[in-house]
C-alpha cells in the first residue's frame, strides 16, 4: 500500500510539473485563449506618450502618434508601438492587452528577450523621436546581455520540460530501475527548471531596476510563466523522494 502511494504521488507530481512547464512553453506562440495568458515578462507602455508630452521641454523630445493605429497590425514593421508587449519562449506579442487586438512575431526557437530591438522595430518613423534616446541607460538597453541570458534560460527551461515529461512516462514502467531513472530525471528537471526560473527572475529584476531612475511611462512586469516555472521545479524536487522510495520497494524483475 505504501509503495502504491509513493508511486502515485511521484507520478502525480511529475505530471503536474510537466503540465506547468508545457503551459510556459506554449505561452505567446499563437493567438488562442490559452497561449495569450502565459508569458515570461510583459511591458506596459500606456503611459509613455503622456510622459513624453509632459516632459517635452526637459527632454527636448516632441513625440506624437507613437502608438500603432491598428494594434493588430504586423509586429516589428515600424507600424507604431503597442500598448502592451508580452514575451514568451518562442515569440513576442504586442497589442491592446491579453484579450484585445494584437499581433505576434513569427515563432522561433528560444526567442531572445531584447526589448530595445522590439521597440525600435515597432516604432513608427513618423513618431518624431528615437525610443533609445528616451530610455534610461542600463539593462533595458543592453540587448547583448539580455539576449544571451534569456536565450540560455529558455534552452535550459526546454531541457527541464523534456526531463519532467520523461520522468513522468518512465515511472509507468513499474520497475525499480525505471523508478530510479524517473527519480534522477525528476531531479534533473528540478535543477534545470529552477536555474531557468532564477535567470528569468534576475533578468526581469534588473530591467525593472534600470527603469526606476526615471519615470517615462514604461513599466515592466514579471510574467506568470516565471512563477509556473518555479512551481514546476518544486514539484519535480518533491517527486524525487517518493520515486526513490518506489525504487526501493518495487520489483526487481519484469
Q: Which domains, from first to last, does the chain contain?
A: 2-249 (1.20.140.150)
DSSP code string of 217-240: S-EEEE-HHHHHHHHHHHHHHHHH
Q: List, edge to edge, every strand of the sheet that includes 92-95.
A: 102-104, 92-95, 84-87, 41-44, 219-222
Rounded to whole angstroms, the Cα distance separating 246 from 253 reads 14
Give the pLDDT confidence score for residue 16 in this predicted structure: 97
Give the tens place of pLDDT for each residue, 118-166: 999 999 888 777 888 888 888 999 999 999 999 999 999 999 999 999 9
**Does residue 221 carry a pLDDT above 60?**
yes
Can you tell me the distance from the alpha carbon of 176 to that of 253, in angstroms, rounded to the nearest whole number? 8
Q: What is the pTM of this model?
A: 0.91
Cα atoms in the 13 Å half-sphere on the side-chain side of 8: 5
CA distances from 222 to 86, 146, 201, 207, 235 (A): 10, 15, 8, 10, 21
pLDDT at 94: 95
What confidence tier does 247 reach under pLDDT thresholds 50, 70, 90? confident
Question: What is the distance, to the nearest Å, from the Cα of residue 99 to the centroid of all Cα atoms in its chain?
Answer: 18
What pLDDT shows up at residue 137? 84
Q: Are 183 and 244 in contact (CB under 8 A)?
A: yes
Amino acid at each position: 500500500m505504501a509503495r502504491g502511494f509513493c508511486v502515485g504521488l511521484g507520478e502525480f507530481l511529475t505530471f503536474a510539473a510537466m503540465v506547468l512547464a508545457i503551459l510556459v512553453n506554449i505561452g505567446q506562440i499563437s493567438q488562442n485563449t490559452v497561449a495569450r495568458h502565459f508569458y515570461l515578462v510583459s511591458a506596459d507602455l500606456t503611459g509613455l506618450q503622456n510622459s513624453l508630452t509632459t516632459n517635452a521641454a526637459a527632454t527636448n523630445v516632441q513625440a506624437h502618434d507613437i502608438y500603432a493605429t491598428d494594434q493588430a497590425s504586423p509586429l516589428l514593421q515600424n507600424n507604431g508601438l503597442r500598448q502592451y508587449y508580452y514575451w514568451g519562449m518562442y515569440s513576442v506579442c504586442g497589442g491592446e492587452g491579453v484579450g484585445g487586438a494584437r499581433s505576434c512575431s513569427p515563432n522561433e526557437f528560444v526567442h531572445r528577450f531584447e526589448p530595445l530591438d522590439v521597440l525600435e522595430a515597432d516604432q513608427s518613423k513618423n513618431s518624431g523621436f528615437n525610443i533609445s534616446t528616451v530610455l534610461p541607460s542600463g539593462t533595458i538597453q543592453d540587448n547583448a546581455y539580455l539576449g544571451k541570458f534569456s536565450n540560455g534560460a529558455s534552452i535550459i527551461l526546454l531541457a527541464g520540460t523534456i526531463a519532467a515529461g520523461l520522468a513522468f512516462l518512465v515511472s509507468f514502467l513499474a520497475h525499480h530501475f525505471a523508478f530510479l531513472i524517473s527519480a534522477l530525471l525528476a531531479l534533473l528537471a528540478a535543477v534545470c527548471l529552477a536555474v531557468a526560473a532564477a535567470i528569468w527572475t534576475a533578468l526581469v529584476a534588473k530591467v525593472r531596476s534600470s527603469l526606476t531612475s526615471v519615470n517615462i511611462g514604461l513599466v515592466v512586469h514579471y510574467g506568470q510563466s516565471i512563477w509556473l516555472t518555479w512551481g514546476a521545479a518544486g514539484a519535480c524536487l518533491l517527486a524525487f523522494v517518493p520515486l526513490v522510495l518506489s525504487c526501493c520497494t518495487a520489483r526487481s524483475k519484469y
